[in-house]
Amino acid sequence: MEIQHIIEEPAISKSTSVKTGFWKRQFAPVVTRPQIIFDVIFGVLGPILCFVFDPVVFRGWLFGPLFPEYQTFAYLFSGLQITLLCFWLLTGPGWQLWNKLMGGMLLCGAIFCVTMGVVLAPFSLIGLIYGIGALGLTPFLTALVYLRNSGRALRSESRGDESFVGVIIPASGILLVAGLPLLLSIQIHLTVSRAVTEIVQGDPQHAMFAARRLAPLRFLASAELDQIVNAYSASSDEKRKELLKSCYREITGDNIENRAHILDD
């Protein structure tokens, strides 16, 4: 399967290269191999590495995370965006309505990345002192990737009622790609919250059963799992502390005391 519909690396004369500005080349209809490589690095690999090595934003292995309540939505939304981008890079333009729908969905990804970049900018600048702030600047490069591919999808050859195809369909794509992760993240949050309540307040049998249910969702539930850690730190009942410790290990495979030290810092 070919990557994109057009991949050209024409021999451009010096006079032509002078006339074509950098930004104009980035958003031109012609797709080049360096752009494909850039898109894969900063549109696919970059976001994944940011989530894996996230030091403070959603999980936090240095100290308590900054925005743990948005972790589930961010993971689901980003996973969907990465999948859509990969599909677009592999297939390129297709049916006109699909192109417009894809353009809207990728545009939503660009908006999300810019928002994340702006919110994280102050923390990224501080983090540069410790050598980890560069990860916080990645969303701006990822936004460029999604904006470029969104523009190419939206500018694909149009037929029919442009007011409908050019506005309604992209808007529907934005609502779809934002709404599905939001609804799913709400459902996951409710499920995890109920299970955490059973662990913190329930008897040993129900607590361990709830812990086993939570294990598959551990990567989407850092904020809720920290409630178990906080309950462990606040409890003076040794039996309850041992139960919470066992449940936490069942869910994450980690020692609850290590996480407690991080949250206490």
Q: What is the pLDDT of residues 23-33, one digit of tens each?
A: 777 777 778 88
pLDDT > 70: percent of the chain = 83
Rg, the chain, Cα only: 23
53 or 186, which is more confident: 186
Q: Is the pTM of this model over 0.85?
A: no
Please name the residues in contact with 114: beta carbons below 8 A apart, sequence gap of 6 or more: 139, 140, 143
pLDDT in tens, 192-240: 999 999 999 888 899 999 999 999 988 888 888 888 999 998 888 889 9
CA proximity to 252, closest of 207, 222, 208: 222
Is 199:232 a contact under the CB 8 Å cutoff? Answer: no
Q: What is the pLDDT of residue 15?
A: 41
Q: How far is CA 75 from the centre of its chain?
A: 4
CA 85-91-97 angle, 5° bins: 85
What single string gives the DSSP state of each residue in 51-77?
Answer: HHT-SSSSS-SSSS-S-GGGHHHHHHH
Q: What is the pLDDT of residue 258?
A: 85
Is residue 18 pLDDT above 50, yes or no?
Answer: no
Q: What is the mean pLDDT of the chain?
A: 83
The one-letter code for the residue type at 237 is D
2 or 192, which is more confident: 192
